[in-house]
């Protein structure tokens, strides 16, 4: 039920949804000219504002602000925990090959750590929301990818049951406990790291953290473009969803400081 509600919440956290609702309401109230113009204007204003670089960058800066790297280059970690979210399951199913999205740095950085000897093994945590038996399971796909890149299978551990960040932490904790690993490094996107680290802390694990997939621009906000772009709208939506997710997780006790 929570997974279903989270998808509904995602929909209503999207600025595009807000804009469409305002525009539809304006169309329905077209006989009341004043209100119709106000609602239509609000819809266009929302769509424009969240599509600008300045607004989307400000939101992403706020989202990534808590992502701190505690990676210790002088330590060889028992395991690096790579969270799923970098694979495009639908595209992967269509092509039969791994197809990645903007968060591909998660598995790439995990691979680099293994290749450089910074970690003895990797734990890939990521399942599927698709209930079909033949659905793509991200952890399995990434395991095969790492093996194709030359990482021995005995250094790769997977869990393909988790469907969200809380379950990433719960399932990973079980495997960590079973194997007695002590030094751990958590790798995920910078925007996702504060919530992910909070979830792992809630189950008794406090791994070192290595944020990747950093999207915050170093350009001062005053010098950013105010022209609308679809990419900016997408980034604004991602930031709002992540910020809302933190509130929900903290209130449910799934993430702790």
Tokens of 101: 């999205």
Burial class (CB in 10 A: 0-12, 13-18, 19+), 113: buried
> How much is the pTM?
0.92
Give pLDDT tens digits along the chain (257 positions): 566 666 667 788 899 999 999 999 999 987 788 889 999 999 999 999 999 999 999 999 999 999 999 999 999 999 999 999 999 999 999 999 999 999 999 999 999 999 999 999 999 999 998 888 889 999 999 999 999 999 999 999 999 999 999 999 999 999 999 999 999 999 999 999 999 999 999 999 999 999 999 999 888 878 898 999 999 999 999 999 999 999 999 999 999 98
In 169-252, where do the E strands start and end?
A: 184-189, 208-212
Fold assignment, 79-212: Rossmann fold (3.40.50)
Q: In the chain, which residues fall in CATH 3.40.50.620?
A: 79-212
Contacts of 125 (CB under 8 A, 6+ apart): 81, 82, 83, 84, 139, 158, 159, 162, 168, 171, 172
């Amino acid at each position: 039920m929570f997974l279903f509600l989270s998808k509904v919440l995602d929909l209503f956290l999207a600025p595009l949804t807000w804009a469409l609702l305002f525009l539809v309401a304006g169309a329905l109230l077209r006989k009341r000219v004043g209100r119709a113009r106000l609602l239509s204007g609000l819809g266009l204003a929302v769509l424009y504002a969240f599509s600008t670089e300045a607004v989307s960058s400000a939101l992403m800066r706020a989202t990534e602000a808590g992502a701190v790297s505690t990676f210790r280059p002088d330590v060889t970690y028992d395991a690096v925990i790579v969270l799923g979210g970098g694979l495009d399951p639908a595209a992967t199913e269509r092509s039969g090959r791994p197809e990645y999205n903007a968060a591909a740095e998660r598995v790439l950085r995990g691979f680099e750590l293994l290749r450089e000897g910074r970690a003895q093994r990797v734990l890939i945590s990521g399942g599927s929301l698709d209930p079909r038996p033949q659905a793509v399971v991200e952890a399995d796909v990434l395991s095969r990818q790492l093996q194709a890149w030359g990482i021995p299978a005995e250094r790769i551990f997977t869990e393909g049951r988790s469907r969200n960040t809380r379950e990433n932490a719960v399932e990973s904790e079980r495997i960590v406990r079973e194997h007695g690993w002590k030094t751990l490094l958590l790798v995920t996107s910078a925007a996702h790291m504060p919530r992910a680290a909070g979830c792992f802390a809630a189950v008794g694990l406090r791994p070192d953290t290595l944020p990747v997939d950093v999207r915050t621009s170093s350009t001062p906000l005053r010098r950013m473009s105010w022209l609308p772009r679809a990419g900016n709208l997408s980034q604004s939506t991602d930031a709002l969803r992540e910020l809302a997710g933190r509130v929900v997780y903290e209130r449910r006790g799934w993430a702790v400081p």
